[in-house]
Every structure is written in C-alpha cells, then in structure tokens.
Amino acid sequence: MTARGDFIEVFGGVFEHSPFIAERVYDEGLIFVPMTAKGLHDAMVSVFRRASREERLSVLRAHPDLAGRLAIAGELTEDSRQEQAGAGLDRLNAAEHARFTELNAAYTGKFGFPFIIAVKGLDKSDILAAFETRIHNSADEEFETAAAQVEKIARLRLVTLLPENPK
C-alpha cells in the first residue's frame, strides 16, 4: 500500500463515509509534520468548506439517523456506534425510541439529510432538546449548523487518532 493509501485508510472515515476529504488533503499536500489533530483538522475542514454544496450535502447525508434503523440493525460505523452509545442512544425505552424515530423522519423530510450533532458529552435529553429546537431552523441555517457539527465530530475523531500538540 502506498503512503497515500495508508493515509486514506486511517483518515478516510473521519468525515463519515467521505474519503474524498482525506484524498484531497493528501493530494493537495496539506499534511504537515509533525501531524497533529489540530493541524489535520484544519486541513480537512478547509477541504470540506471548499467542496461544492452538493459534495458537502453528500457528507451530511452520509451520517446515520440518531438511534435509527442502522443502529438497530447494527450497521453503524464503529465511530458512530461508539458515539451514539456514549450518549445512551443504544439504551432508549420504547417511548424515547418512538420520539427519535418521529423527529428523524420530520427532520429528514424537511432538510433532506439526517439530524447531525456531536453527541460527546451530551445525553439523550440534551440531544432531544437540540433536535426539537433545530427542526424549526431555516434550510440554510440548518445546513450550516449541520456542517459545523460534522466538523466538530471530525475533530473529536481526530483527537483519538493523533496527538493534540507536537512533542
């Protein structure tokens, strides 16, 4: 495997099912030594923000519903599974699951992509409150909010893979 292939294998999933971000970072020479979570995040966010609106939308659409069908079927990426479990979304009672299902359908119907929130440090009540607030946003406002959450999720994933600061 090439250095490019190794890089994409490790970092291609930082932006959910969107390896084109890592590919462009590599191809544009945006990797600096020593590689840090902050430095790589800055590079990846730069690529994400310069992507076309349709490409950014594809990144948003690559995210799973919270406590949705993929979670139930055990088909989430390992990162998403751990993130949702950390927020208790794998332990919802029937009424909570029904509420998430209802909100997921309404949100996706309105915006065309799933509700995205960086769940680390949040619990199910925090997530539901954000869901119930954000569903009233305009389409443009929510696109930007969801994109910012994707960037935050990427940062949280990168800090598990790389040091924060060089030694």
Catalytically annotated residues = 63
Quick one: which of 140, 135, 144, 143 has its CA closest to 110?
Answer: 135
3-state secondary structure of 1: coil
Structure tokens at 131: 């869901």
Contact yes or no for 120/84 (Cβ under 8 A): no
- DSSP structure class, residue 51: S
Q: How far apart are CA 122 and CA 26, in angstroms?
A: 33
